Amino acid sequence: MNDETVPALSAAPLLPPHVFADQSSRGGVAVRALLAGAGGYLPRRIVTNDDLAARLETSDAWIAARTGIRQRHIAEPDETATFMGATASRAALTAAGAVPKDVDALIVATSTPDEAFPATAVRIQHALGIAHGFAFDLSAACSGFIYALGVADALIRTGQARGALVIGTEVYSRILDWQDRGTCVLFGDGAGAVFLTAGAGSGASTDRGLLSTHLHSDGAFGDLLSVDGAVGRRDRPGVLLMNGREVFRHAVARMAEAVDEALAANHLTHEDVDWLVPHQANLRIIDAMGRRLHLPTERVVVTVDRHANTSAASIPLALAEALADGRIRPGQLVLMEALGGGLTWGSALLRV
């Protein structure tokens, strides 16, 4: 397209600046997204490090020492992104004491949708028997769940949704090069979901609900972690490629910034954090983040040993597990952070 043929947008702002001011507080009452319930689904088949070592030049010792991973769940053909996401969603609704008709927005974070379109979100919406509201997919790789939380939070705060299912569902096993020991040992499949509902509060950080999300991306680092193809390219279905050392370096630095940003924005310190629920890519990264927050290891939710890296599903899976077993309790402050392909990264603070 020739730029000259496109009329320039008005140089003056289309809306006066005050329209963009925080609309979340109406008459002294702040609308907030409350966590009502969480659920997860893991594929039936477990693949251990030893299983991989039987057909690859790798070992349980290397994988465990470098990543903390001991096993991962790998989807069978019937365990699609839709099936896993719908199953996790049903579990989240059950935990919330809610029913599908309570859902008016459904957001799926995935890099491995079943089809280019319709969105996996719409397939899940139908599988749950929901015929109202709206559903869409969001692509931000391993940060997808944090991004989807941010979008759902905005929809709820602005009154566009009252009940939002936020789902991470991934079948990375289908985009891995199973001959590449540098990447295939790191990932697993699964889905996690949370159900958020609109609630009211004073706007203070002691209120229940999502306090804030902070989202970032920088495409200059797009080639550090990518899938070099897609449905739009018949010549290349694509496999996952990663410069592990560089991604590791960015992960520690960028997530630390996003954590500081979240705490500062809410006038909180690391001492206020009850739980860290981080993206589960590597135990060394998780430990580094926990140390930075001065959190004892028992205050950090870890699933990477059993799930490996399930990308956008890793945080909701970990959250669902720690809520279900009673570790995370109502009133506690949960800090979530992630970094993934894009690069994308971000954080979310939630008072359960």
Q: Side-chain half-sphere of 252: how many Cα atoms within 13 Å?
A: 15
Binding mask 251-270 for ligand UT7 (x = CB under 6 A): x-------------------
Q: Which region among 199-207, 267-275, 280-288, 299-307 touches ligand UT7 (by CB under 6 A)?
A: 280-288
Q: Following DSSP, what letter does each residue of 12-31 receive, concatenated?
A: S-SS-GGGGS--SEETTEEE
Whole-number Å distance between alpha carbons of 184 and 309? 10
Binding mask 102-131 for ligand UT7 (x = CB under 6 A): ------------------------------
Nearest to 109 by CA among 129, 87, 85, 88: 85
Helix, strand, coil in percent for the chain, rounding step 5: 40, 25, 35
| 181 binding ligand UT7? (CB under 6 A) | yes
Q: Side-chain half-sphere of 175: how many Cα atoms within 13 Å?
A: 28
Minimum distance from CB of 151 to ligand UT7 (Å)? 20
Q: Which region among 110-118, 163-171, 246-254, 296-304 touches ligand UT7 (by CB under 6 A)?
A: 246-254
Q: Which of 182, 222, 237, 331 binds ligand UT7 (CB under 6 A)?
A: 182
Binding mask 34-73 for ligand UT7 (x = CB under 6 A): ------------------------x---xx--xx------
List, by residue number, the catalytic residues. 142, 279, 309
What phi, psi does 16 have (nearest 5°)?
-60, 150
Q: Which of 130, 281, 313, 350 binds ligand UT7 (CB under 6 A)?
A: 281
Max Cα-Cα span within the chain: 64
Enumerate residues 6+ apart whose C-beta is below 8 A from 35: 194, 195, 196, 208, 209, 210, 350, 352
Q: Which of 43, 85, 290, 340 binds ligand UT7 (CB under 6 A)?
A: 340
Return residues touching ligand UT7 (CB under 6 A): 58, 62-63, 66-67, 142, 181-182, 185-186, 244-245, 247-248, 251, 281-282, 285, 309, 339-340
